[in-house]
Amino acid sequence: MAISRSQLAKELEPGLNALFGLEYKRYENEAAEIFDQESSDRAFEEEVMLGGFAGAPVKNEGAAINYDTAQESFTARYTNETIALAFAITEEAVEDNLYDRVSARYTKALARSMANTKQVKGANILNNAFSANAADFGGDGVSLASTAHPTLTGGNFSNRSATDADLNETSLEQAVIDVAAFIDERGLKIALKPMKMIIPSALQFVADRLMNSSGRVGTADNDINVFNQSGYIPQGYSVNHYLTDTDAFFIKTDCPNGFKHFVRTPITTAMEGDFDTGNMRYKARERYSFGFSDPRCVYASQGS
Q: Evaluate if residue 6 carries a pLDDT over 80.
A: no
**Which among 304, 201, 192, 209 is positioned nearest to 251, based on CA atoms?**
192
**Which sequence spans correspond to the domains of the chain?**
33-48+78-301
Please state, in angstroms and rounded to a whole number, the distance separating the CA atoms of residues 294 and 74. Answer: 10
**What's the pLDDT tens digit per position in 225-264?**
888 888 899 999 999 999 999 999 999 999 999 999 999 9
Average pLDDT over residues 29-48: 96
**pTM reported for the whole predicted model:** 0.90
Q: Work out the pLDDT band at 20, boundaries 50, 70, 90.
A: low
DSSP labels, 38-100: EE--SSEEEEEEEE---PPPPPPTTPPPP----EEEEEEEEEPEEEEEEEEE-HHHHHH-SSS
Please state, in angstroms and rounded to a whole number, the distance separating the CA atoms of residues 125 and 182. Answer: 21
Q: Work out the pLDDT band at 17, boundaries 50, 70, 90.
A: very low
pLDDT at position 262 is: 98
**What's the pLDDT tens digit per position in 171-215?**
999 999 999 999 999 999 999 999 999 999 999 999 999 998 888
Q: Give the Cβ contact number of residue 297 at 10 Å.
A: 25
Percent of the chain with pLDDT over 70: 91
Q: Work out the pLDDT band at 102, boundaries 50, 70, 90.
A: low
**Which among 37, 38, 83 is positioned nearest to 287, based on CA atoms?**
83
Fold held by 33-48+78-301: phage-related protein like fold (3.90.1690)
